[in-house]
Amino acid sequence: MTIYFGENLKKLRKSKDLTQDALADFLGMSFQAISKWERGETYPDITMLPVIASFFGVTVDSLLGTDMIEKEKKINEYAKEYSRLWSEGKIKDVRDMLKSAVTEFPGNYDLLSKYLNALIHAQYDDEYLLSIKTEVNRVYDIVQNYCTVDSIRIWTKKLMCRYLRDLSLIEGSGVDIADAEKILEQMPIMQNTRDYEAMYMYPHDDEKRARACANGISEMLRLFGEIMNRKYKNFLDADGDISEAYINLVEKVMPDGDYGKSHYLMVINHHRLGVKKYVAGDEKSALEHFEKGLLLAKSYDESPDILVHTSTAVKGLRFDKTKAYRFWEGSFLEDMKDGLLNRPELSEEFKNSEEFRRIMEIN
């Protein structure tokens, strides 16, 4: 818990245009005592608190920052609830909860950026995306115009790019892809990101360098998989050799099966490769990849919220599942089962086969 007495005392003193010497004279203290109080090195005797509060015309609670402590506690509770609901895929609940949070704490840019994230991702139908346009612009403008934290500003730029891209696909939205491109040009290129640069920061500190490189490896594998997903949105357009190469690469780098950020991408690529094998007439291989994908989805559902990697290249790195990207609600396994059942490339005869029904019983 943060104590705000020193910070508040300094603000109150300056609001009355008093020096530390002058305040010390009024209170019958030394200026060194006032200086230590303001720096948070020491605190006044409890009997002095009413005297100081009375001098400035405030309450003792206000002087101590009790109200600020309660605000900090409430903000932390909102942030924890955001992580919990997001990890469960309850994005609409996140949005509604954070709408109340930013009404209560309109100047908290971390909550505002989280609210923007939930607002944009709560639904994907055209009517909804158009209906939130004013609110998205309002929140985005507040963060960009007043927030001084670069990481929050860049994240909201990313969110706005995605939102404008989706709007540009809706006829009559009044948004063109060029609107998103203008924001995109303001963002750092990949090699200027924190995760990339951190790998070069510690030439003489083996432990920090190893940790930074482990994080870089994990993030780069995920990004590579995401880029493939964007390039090959349609399963049949995908090059099966590339999906197989990605699976093999991740398995080589993380032989212990601790895929972390790339776990969901491994599932997708097994299913993508399975579809390619099926269309090519290799039903046996298709079933093998579908089964591997479902087993990986099951293991993700059952994994703890915090995974500590054991594979050599990423050893010791922590993966927090509650903060990870997800596109499904509820069970990942059930979502992947539904995806297979609705794949148009797979015939009804194949879906009704004994082997396919067997793997669909994985739970």
Amino acid at 171: E
Mean per-residue pLDDT pooled into runs of 10, the chain (363 residues): 78 89 88 90 87 86 73 88 88 95 88 96 94 96 93 96 96 96 94 90 93 95 88 62 91 97 96 93 96 97 95 96 86 96 95 96 95
State the pLDDT at residue 1.
46
State the pLDDT at residue 3.
65
CATH class, 5-64 region: mainly alpha
| Spans of all domains in the chain | 5-64, 86-187, 194-359
Query: What are the E-state strand segments in the chain?
Result: 306-308, 318-320
State the pLDDT at residue 205.
94
Query: Which residue in 305, 303, 292, 216 sits closest to 251, CA to CA?
Result: 292
Q: Quick one: which H or E segment has residue 273?
A: helix 263-279
Q: How many angstroms separate the CA atoms of 270 and 294, rounded?
A: 9
User: Please, where are the H alpha helices in the chain?
Assistant: 5-15, 20-27, 31-39, 49-56, 60-64, 66-87, 91-104, 109-121, 126-131, 133-146, 150-168, 177-184, 194-198, 206-231, 240-253, 263-279, 283-302, 332-341, 348-351, 354-359
The CB-side HSE value for 341 (13 A sphere, CA atoms) comes to 11
SS3 of residue 303 by DSSP: coil
